[in-house]
Amino acid sequence: MSQTKDKKSLPVAGVFFLLIVIPLSLMAFLIANGMFKLGVTIKERAVNVLDVKSQEDIKARAINTANQVTNLLMESKKDLQVATIIPSTEAVYKQFVAENKAPLWVKKDGKVQQVLTPLYKEIALIDKNGYERIKIVDGQAAPAGKLVDVSKPANTTYKSEDYFAKTKNLNRGEVYVSPVTGWYVSKAAFNKGERFNGVVRFATPVFNQDGFSGMIVLSLDYRHLGQITDQLIPTQAERVFETDASSGNYAYMFDYRGNAIAHPNDFHIVGLNPDGTPVPTITQQNVKELTDKGADALNIIQAGFLDPNLTALAKETAEGKTGFKTYKLFGMTKFVAYAPIKFYASNIPEPAGFGWVCLGVEVEKYNEAALKVSQNIEKESKAWTATVILVLIVAMVILFFIMLILVRGISRSIQSEVPEGSEGELAGLNDDDDDDK
């Protein structure tokens, strides 16, 4: 009897096994295959979409950064107009400088901190002959013995400035804006911690009943301008105190003449020699000499020998265009998004404006980062696939044991319903039927 019971239990167990295992196995295969394909698709799309999306994002950020520069210059221009209508006294000028402040990140005592710093290093009232009558420097009034005749460029702070000559013939309300002006910082000095510093001068004529009576000159502290790009990393939202040029991921600025006016490596910024003459910028003829000296100031218009796309970039920005390009620089492939600084003055016409902002990314390093993202996606996909398969296997094992319990229960129920010995009688009846046939 026990043998007969076992024979009945086995077909029932087999049916339950097939009903459970086959659907679960099919489900496991479909889910695992689907997740693997999904992981591959997401990985492929991640690289492509990340590439296109990043280009557009960097371009948009270049536009926003250029607008920041424009806004700073426009505010300075407005402040200059205000300076023409306030009382012309030392006390009022000192108060004017003290009240116009903006946050500036500085390193003090080895710590990086943000402090409110005056926007303007100088404000000066100059008479019609070029003599300074009032001058506030770094918040303090210059003594009479320090006031000079700025109609002579050699007497100016940087030994060669011609803002008096450029302003005296302007009409009422017109403004002359100087290029970024400051002493050049060599690579050796930069490595020792020195940073480029200087001014952007805003000058406008003033008049009385007799006509031209002089001018007001307001000098923007360069640091407020430079920090806009110096602290920006194109591919991340957080700003830093100083970007690292060796990362290939940084922002920089050129003026309308093509001179670098902001760069993580300050020795690329075009500054002045001690005698007021501009330092030479790299050309095909002198690039090795200047680079070896650590004095490789950049003018993008003259840098076409490095890559023709640099010349094309300068041409497009001079036309006020926004876009992006790739170019080769010292063996590196750079992607750069650029946008014009739409600030204009009497000497800075449209469409070129004040200059342009560039946000650059080293392509090889960018692709390396994108590849890491895709690899992480693939890794996560495989992990999820393995997890699903493991869960299904565990489920199959649990269901198999549940199946055994159910089969045993059904077998016992059948056994209790069939009287003991009836199996033999049923077998005999079957034999009689066969004989009758």
pLDDT in tens, 261-305: 999 999 999 999 999 999 999 999 999 999 999 999 999 999 999
In a domain, 263, yes or no: yes
Q: How far apart are CA 223 and CA 435, in angstroms?
A: 116
Residues 328 and 206 in one domain: yes
Identify the DSSP state of 396.
H
CB 36 within 8 Å of CB 378: no
Residues 6+ away with beta carbon under 8 Å from 293? 186
In a domain, 214, yes or no: yes
In a domain, 425, yes or no: no
pTM: 0.75
- Per cent of the chain over pLDDT 90 is 58
Residues 412 and 292 in one domain: no
Identify the DSSP state of 153.
G
Per the structure, the count of domains in the chain is: 2
In a domain, 216, yes or no: yes
Give the domain range for residue 408.
7-47+373-418
Residues 38 and 145 in one domain: no
In a domain, 146, yes or no: yes
Residues 65 and 167 in one domain: yes
pLDDT in tens, 333-342: 888 999 999 9
Angle at which helices 90-99 and 2-83 pack, to 10 degrees? 170
Residues 395 and 290 in one domain: no
Q: How far apart are CA 89 and CA 135, in angstroms?
A: 10
> DSSP 3-state assignment of 49?
helix
Q: How far apart are CA 139 and CA 235, in angstroms?
A: 38
Assess whether pLDDT exceeds 70 at residue 46: no
Residues 6+ away with beta carbon under 8 Å from 397? none
Residues 137 and 58 in one domain: yes
Residues 37 and 67 in one domain: no
Q: Beta 211-221 vs 332-341: how paired, if at all?
A: unpaired
| Residue (of 307, 315, 210) closest to 256 by Cα position | 315
Residues 313 and 403 in one domain: no
Residue with tokens 């590196």, as numbered in its chain: 332
Q: How far is CA 71 from CA 143, 218, 374, in A?
A: 34, 16, 39
Q: How far apart are CA 105 and CA 117, in angstroms?
A: 9
CB 264 within 8 Å of CB 252: yes
Identify the DSSP state of 87.
-
Residues 208 and 339 in one domain: yes
CB 205 within 8 Å of CB 212: yes
In a domain, 279, yes or no: yes
In a domain, 436, yes or no: no
**Band (246; pLDDT cuts 50, 70, 90):** confident
Residues 262 and 407 in one domain: no
Residues 6+ away with beta carbon under 8 Å from 437? none
Residues 306 and 414 in one domain: no
Pick the most confident of 4-8, 39-43, 260-264.
260-264
> Would you list the DSSP string of 228-253?
HHHT--TT-SS--SS--GGGTEEEEE
Write down which residue in 315, 346, 372 finishes a domain.
372
Q: How far apart are CA 263 and CA 437, in angstroms?
A: 109
Residues 193 and 304 in one domain: yes
CB 198 within 8 Å of CB 181: yes
Least confidently predicted of 15-19, 248-252, 346-350: 15-19
Q: How far apart are CA 239 and CA 76, in angstroms?
A: 24
Q: How far is CA 216 from the centre of its chain?
A: 38
CB 277 within 8 Å of CB 183: no
Return mean pLDDT, the chain: 84
The pLDDT, as a whole number, for residue 24 is: 62
In a domain, 423, yes or no: no
Q: How many other C-beta atoms are found inside a 10 Å radius of the C-beta of residue 238?
A: 7
CATH of the domain at 271: 3.30.450.20
CB 256 within 8 Å of CB 348: yes
